[in-house]
Amino acid sequence: DGGITQSPKYLFRKEGQNVTLSCEQNLNHDAMYWYRQDPGQGLRLIYYSQIVNDFQKGDIAEGYSVSREKKESFPLTVTSAQKNPTAFYLCASSISATVYRTDTQYFGPGTRLTVL
């Protein structure tokens, strides 16, 4: 079955610890994205990647880091520099990174991070 997996579904960490959220897709999509969602809010873009070994900051990149060493994988690290990391994190992918196509994003099930 093709899709996007995120693990774990729930994650608890102590304040001051870095934590890495996993995102894997087997859709052969070029572009991948990380969003943060706070209660009652819309989605805010953290980072996105159009191709392997390349990524760009979104609107709220401070305190986060990413890597894109493989097409299928786009892990997000929430560092201790992120002031309010408790949130719901969604990973997404879309087929093409080119500007000549408008392709929908498909989302993973999300990871709910709670920092104690």
Partner 1 sequence: AQKITQTQPGMFVQEKEAVTLDCTYDTSDPSYGLFWYKQPSSGEMIFLIYQGSYDQQNATEGRYSLNFQKARKSANLVISASQLGDSAMYFCAMREMGGNQFYFGTGTSLTVIP
Q: Give me the residues that bind partner 1 (CB under 8 A), please.
A: 31, 33, 35, 41-43, 45, 48, 50, 56, 58, 88, 90, 92, 97, 99-100, 102, 104-110, 112
Positive/negative CA dihedral, 96, 101, 107, 113: positive
The burial class, CB within 10 Å (0-12 / 13-18 / 19+), for 43 is middle
Q: In the complex, what is the shortest distance from the CB of residue 72 to partner 1, in angstroms, rounded to a whole number? A: 19
Query: Residue 4 or 19: which CB sits closer to partner 1?
Result: 4
Residues 6 or more apart whose CB falls under 8 angstroms from that of 32 comprise 23, 25, 48, 49, 68, 74, 91, 92, 93
Question: Of the two residues 52 and 97, which places its CB atom closer to partner 1 in the complex?
Answer: 97
> Toward partner 1, which CB reaches closer, 84 or 102?
102
CB of 89 to partner 1, least distance (A): 10
- With respect to partner 1, which residue has the nearer C-beta, 2 or 42? 42
DSSP state of 30: S
Amino acid at 11: L
Q: What secondary structure letter does DSSP report for 38?
A: -
Nearest distance in Å: CB 21, partner 1? 14
- CB 83 to partner 1: min, Å: 22
